Amino acid sequence: MKPYLSYFKLRFMTCLQYRSAAIAGILTQVFFAFVYIMVYLAFYESGDANAPMTLKQVINYMWLNQMFFTLIYLSYKDKDIINLIKDGNISYELARPLNVYFMWFAKILSQRISMMLLRCIPVMVLAFVLPEPYKLMLPLNFSTFLLFLLSFCISAILITGITMLFHIITMFTLDEKGATSIIINIADIFSGQVIPLPFFPLFLQKVAILLPFRYISDFPFRIYTSHIVENEAIIGIIIQFVWLITILIGGYLLMNKALSKTIVQGG
């Protein structure tokens, strides 16, 4: 475990150095937060009383989506890992006295967390000091916040496990686009990063319940907004944890299968 923690720390500190990219990311996240909020403001001001979430819940949801964007977005792919797979330098990874799956997992998770921290705190501070109706509100109570925190921590590991699957698929196809791009687009929709899932048609909500992607962002964010009550949140967190274990074990086994059939290309 210690080598993987050291590797995590090394990659984490490296990514924290990219401050200029973080500043650009902060401006981007704030811009899109305002765009999404203004769209929903116009929607609610149209007088639709049957909206599945309150305006304040939606505004909180939009801020959370942008604050944690670099941690939860699914289209992330590690270029270094992709290049290792495609040019044959994965052989160097196999020569290390470490498990490749856990090493790559630590790398991806550290990069996601470091990028999130550089952007999250400034965006959060801004969101809390803005006037109504743009202001980000705290959860209704401390227990709700704890449930959100637990769910979001599981979500961070879950998204890393799903990202690992994309890289493992590349080991079979030698193409980081194709099949993975299709899965990523589907996952983006059903994770609630485009539109909160309660706004989906009922039949698509039923589909989303059967997939793990809603537990990446939609589920923890709706706990924060209290759209999901505490009893439902506890049950959902159990299901979220089951999905996490399933994807981690499945990814680990698939990685072993991929490595057993690896053909090193290049010269």
Consecutive 10-residue averages of pLDDT for the chain (267 residues):
62 61 80 91 78 90 92 81 76 72 87 83 90 90 94 94 88 75 84 89 90 93 93 95 95 87 58
Task: Output the pLDDT for position 175.
Answer: 73
Q: What's the whole-model pTM score?
A: 0.87
Task: Output the pLDDT for position 240.
Answer: 96
Task: Output the pLDDT for position 7.
Answer: 56
CA distance 169 to 171: 5
CA distance 263 to 96: 18
CA distance 88 to 3: 24
Task: Output the pLDDT for position 244.
Answer: 95
Task: Output the pLDDT for position 14.
Answer: 63
Task: Output the pLDDT for position 78.
Answer: 77
Q: Which of 237, 84, 42 has its CA nearest to residue 157?
A: 237
Note whether 126 and 211 are within 8 A (CB).
no
